[in-house]
């Protein structure tokens, strides 16, 4: 096969892919130049650091292996350049030792990550905040009393329906006429543990709060909970992270983290608004009948 100038261009082009890929990562992480603010959004969740640590740990590990194998590959191509070596290729039957080594090393690495992340998984997905450990004084047992969800968030094509579970005038939750219904606009108090109940009305969605490092698939028929503690006020995104139909791209909501007093005021305002918009409708309906 002829060793033409084109081969050199092609190899440079292919070499640019991993080089530019790694450079993009490095520049984005450094938050400079055109990639400023292209890396992870600010973490405002008290419990979100563990997710970031895990993410960076896996990124550095896989990054180092990627760069290492890339360099090794480049070195072999350069060392055994077909243009410089005219003798025919010698095929060997492989190495049993090498096979064992490169099977065991990745397996051990994956097993290590699986064990290393267990606590993060349990904290994020299993240890739902408990307000009372019960008579046995031990958390994680059957008599635990869980913190009630602040709101039920229902994903449906293509919006997030939010129902605040309020005690209302009778002081009891569960009487549905007390509840506050909102679409795509979730407000939560800052510096408090918040539990949300997540449901789907139709298909698979994924409730994703990037700034809180919360991402949970929303499965129809399942009752699921997410929890977090926001530590900075502000307005953040709620997005759907599971392709759920043609309008998936617009399934966005807004999360407002505010002080407890602002939150209480907002709830009262929205509740009053809900009552005032519902009453005339009811009246006109009865009049027309």
Smallest gap from Cβ 205 to Cu ion, in A, equals 4
C-beta of 232 vs 248, nearer to Cu ion: 248
The answer to whether 204 and 244 are in contact (CB under 8 A) is yes
Q: Could you give the CA distance from residue 166 to residue 212 in angstroms, rounded to a whole number?
A: 24
Q: How many Cβ atoms from other residues are within 10 Å of residue 161's Cβ? A: 17
The whole-angstrom separation of Cα 6 and Cα 3 is 8
Distance of alpha carbon 53 from alpha carbon 98, whole angstroms: 32
Least spacing, CB of residue 247 vs Cu ion, in Å: 8
Q: Which is nearer to Cu ion, 192 or 217 (CB)?
A: 217
Min separation Cβ 186 and Cu ion, Å: 15
Nearer to Cu ion, 46 or 159 (CB): 159
Shortest reach from residue 206's CB to Cu ion, in Å: 7
- The piece of 76-84, 112-120, 203-211, 270-278 that touches Cu ion (CB under 5 A) is 203-211
User: Is the CB of 190 or the CB of 209 nearer to Cu ion?
Assistant: 209
Q: Where are the alpha helices (DSSP H) in the chain?
A: 5-30, 49-79, 96-116, 118-121, 260-288
Q: Which is nearer to Cu ion, 14 or 249 (CB)?
A: 249
240 contributes a contact to Cu ion by CB under 5 A: yes
Stretch that binds Cu ion, among 143-151, 234-242, 254-262, 279-287 (CB under 5 A): 234-242
Q: How far apart are CA 101 and CA 123, in angstroms?
A: 34
Residue 198 and residue 215: Cα distance in Å, rounded? 11
Contact string 244-263 vs Cu ion (x = CB under 5 A): x------x------------
Closest CA to 161 of 207, 214, 229, 102: 207
DSSP 123: I
Rounded distance, CA 189 to CA 220, Å?
28
- Minimum CB separation of residue 153 from Cu ion in Å reads 12
Tell me the closest approach of the beta carbon of residue 221 to Cu ion, in angstroms. Answer: 16
Residue number with CB closer to Cu ion (252 or 265): 252
- Give the nearer residue to Cu ion in terms of CB position, either 198 or 251: 251
| Options 176-184, 193-201, 242-250, 277-285: segment touching Cu ion (CB under 5 A) | 242-250
Nearest distance from C-beta of residue 184 to Cu ion, angstroms = 12
Pairwise CA distance, residues 189 & 213, whole Å: 17
CA-wise closest residue to 197 among 239, 162, 242 = 162
Using CB under 5 A as the criterion, what x/- string covers residues 54-93 for binding Cu ion?
----------------------------------------
Give 194's strand partners: 228
205 binding Cu ion? (CB under 5 A): yes
- Binding-site ranges for Cu ion (CB under 5 A): 205, 240, 244, 251
């Amino acid at each position: 096969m002829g060793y033409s100038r084109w081969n050199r261009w092609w190899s440079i082009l292919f070499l640019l892919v991993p080089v530019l890929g790694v450079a993009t990562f490095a520049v984005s992480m450094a938050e400079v130049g055109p990639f400023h603010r292209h890396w992870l959004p600010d973490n405002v969740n008290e419990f979100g650091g563990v997710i970031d640590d895990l993410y960076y740990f896996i990124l550095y590990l896989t990054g180092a292996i990627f760069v290492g194998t890339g360099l090794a590959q480049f070195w072999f191509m350069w060392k055994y350049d077909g243009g410089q070596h005219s003798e025919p290729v010698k095929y060997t039957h492989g190495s049993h030792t090498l096979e064992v080594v490169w099977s065991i090393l990745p397996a051990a690495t994956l097993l290590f990550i699986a064990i290393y992340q267990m606590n993060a998984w349990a904290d994020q997905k299993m240890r739902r905040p408990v307000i009372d450990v019960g008579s046995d004084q031990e958390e994680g047992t059957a008599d635990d009393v869980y913190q009630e969800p602040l709101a039920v968030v229902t994903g449906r094509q293509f919006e997030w329906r939010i129902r605040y579970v309020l005690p209302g005038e009778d002081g009891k939750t569960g009487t549905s006429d007390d509840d506050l219904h909102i679409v795509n606009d979730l407000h939560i108090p800052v510096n408090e543990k918040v539990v949300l109940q997540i449901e789907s009305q139709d298909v698979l969605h994924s409730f994703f709060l990037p700034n809180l490092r919360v991402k949970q698939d929303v499965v129809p028929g399942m009752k699921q909970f997410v929890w977090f503690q926001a530590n900075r006020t502000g307005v953040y995104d709620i997005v759907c992270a599971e392709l759920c139909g043609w309008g998936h791209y617009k399934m966005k909501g807004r999360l407002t983290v505010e002080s407890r007093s602002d939150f209480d005021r907002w709830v009262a305002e929205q509740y009053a608004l809900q009552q005032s918009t519902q009453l005339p409708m009811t009246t006109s309906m009865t009049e027309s009948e």
